[in-house]
């Protein structure tokens, strides 16, 4: 069975909930970790890594994930398959909607990761996006 590691940053719990829904819907052995508890081994041992964060401030990466983002490098990610996800709000922040997802994807690509798909952006309430989250999960493995 494939090994998938999901690393997320979430302030009010929305991206955490998305990460849990992804875990439930991916047919793989899944390790789930908050970015503040993530370690190198869980990335090295995974066939696919999902990196997720919400966007705060004005187009900024959620705080816990920002610290992880700063540590992302070639040594960690070169040649690894990576997909990205995150929560945001397009009504209130149309110009920087889910910008964290874009920033994480760009940094992972710069670090030599193979980016899988466009990623998943969850707009507003998680409950309104469950079927899109399930479809994204199923598209990955």
- Give the interface with ligand FMN as residue ranges (CB under 6 A): 10-15, 54-59, 62, 87-89, 93, 96-99
Nearer to ligand FMN, 85 or 140 (CB): 85
CB of 98 to ligand FMN, least distance (A): 5
Choice between 20 and 47, CB closer to ligand FMN: 20
Q: Which two tokens stand for residue 47?
A: 């066939």
- Minimum distance, C-beta of residue 125 to ligand FMN, in the bound complex (Å): 8
Closer CB to ligand FMN, 80 or 121, in the complex? 121
- Kindly tell me which of 13 and 45 has the beta carbon lying closer to ligand FMN: 13
Is 3 in a helix, a strand, or coil?
Answer: strand
Backbone angles phi and psi of 132, in degrees to 5: -65, -35
Q: Tokens 């469950």 belong to which residue?
A: 130
Q: Nearest residue by C-beta to ligand FMN?
A: 88
Beta bridge partners of 8: 34, 52
The C-alpha atoms of residue 66 and residue 11 are separated, in whole angstroms, by 12
Residue ranges of E strands in 12-136: 29-34, 48-53, 55-56, 60-61, 81-88, 114-115, 120-123
| Residue 103 Cβ vs ligand FMN, minimum distance, rounded to whole Å | 11
**Nearest distance in Å: CB 112, ligand FMN:** 27
Question: Residue 47 Cβ, how far from ligand FMN at the closest point, in Å?
Answer: 25
With beta carbons less than 8 A apart as the criterion, state whether 118 and 104 touch. Answer: no
Nearest residue (CB) to ligand FMN, 34 versus 47? 34
């Amino acid at each position: 069975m494939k090994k998938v590691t999901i690393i997320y940053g979430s302030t009010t719990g929305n991206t955490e909930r998305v990460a849990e829904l992804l875990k439930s819907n991916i047919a793989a052995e899944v390790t789930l970790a908050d970015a503040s508890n993530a370690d190198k081994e869980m990335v090295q041992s995974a066939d696919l890594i999902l990196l997720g964060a919400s966007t705060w401030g004005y187009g900024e990466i959620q705080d816990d994930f920002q610290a992880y983002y700063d540590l992302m490098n070639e040594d960690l990610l070169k040649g690894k398959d990576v997909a990205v996800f995150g929560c945001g709000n397009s009504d209130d922040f149309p110009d920087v909607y889910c910008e964290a997802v874009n920033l994480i994807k760009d940094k992972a690509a710069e670090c030599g990761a193979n980016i899988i798909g466009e990623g998943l952006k969850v707009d507003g309430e998680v409950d309104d996006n469950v079927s899109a989250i399930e479809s994204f999960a199923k598209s990955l493995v």
